């Protein structure tokens, strides 16, 4: 069992990290949306989208990492609450 003071400090730190993680998830989602719009525009105009598609895949991989990190923080927060 963690001392109350330490548990509060850990909770505060995790909440700060969670805020940053949520901001990154949101920013990455906006980036992915813009990239999809760009790809659609390029296709409509008849341009090759190979590089743009590859960049979208990279964005989506990074987004998955951001989401996984955020979810780990949520799990840690829940774990602290039950200690």
Q: Are the CB atoms for 32 and 63 separated by under 8 Å? A: yes
- Give φ, ψ of 47 to 5 degrees: -90, 155
CA-based torsion, 50, 32, 68, 5: positive or negative: positive
Q: Rg for the chain (alpha carbons), in Å?
A: 19
Q: Is the pTM of this model over 0.75?
A: yes
| Cα distances (angstroms) measured from residue 22 to each of 38, 43, 77 | 24, 32, 14
Q: Is pLDDT at 2 greater than 80 in this prediction?
A: no
Cα separation, 62 vs 65, whole angstroms: 5
Quote the Cα angle for 77-73-67, to 5°.
145
pLDDT band at 32 (very low <50, low <70, confident <90, very high): very high
């Amino acid at each position: 069992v963690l001392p109350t003071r330490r548990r509060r400090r850990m909770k505060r730190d995790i909440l700060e990290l969670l805020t940053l993680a949520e901001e990154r998830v949101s920013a990455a989602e906006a980036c992915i949306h813009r990239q999809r719009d760009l790809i659609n525009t390029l296709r409509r105009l008849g341009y090759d989208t190979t590089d743009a598609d590859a960049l979208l895949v990279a964005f989506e991989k990074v987004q998955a990492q951001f989401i996984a990190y955020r979810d780990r923080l949520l799990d840690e927060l829940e774990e602290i609450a039950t200690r």
